Amino acid sequence: MSVPPPAPVYVDPGYRAGGFNHVVISKIDIPFWSLVGLLIKIAIASIPAAIVMMIIFSVFFGCMWATLAAIGLSFTSLISTLNR
């Protein structure tokens, strides 16, 4: 039993070595209510992400505030120093 030859390799004529192909989407056919449902799901999914981001920023800026307070700088003295 012989092994079939390998399939020829197709090379896209628009391919550039080391570059990116350009893709053009010409038509998207999504029913209106399916799109509304998708957008509602995206909005609901963004709520936990926003909460996580608020926690991360709160911890970061809390650490920054604690660091400035530890070296004796307050926000008002920092602003007055910058306005000179």
Dmax (CA) of the chain? 89
Q: What percent of the chain has pLDDT over 90?
A: 39
> Over the chain, what is the mean pLDDT?
82
User: Which amino acid is located at 36 in the chain?
Assistant: V
- Average pLDDT value for residue range 3-30: 71
pLDDT of 62 strictly over 80: yes
CA distance 20 to 13: 12
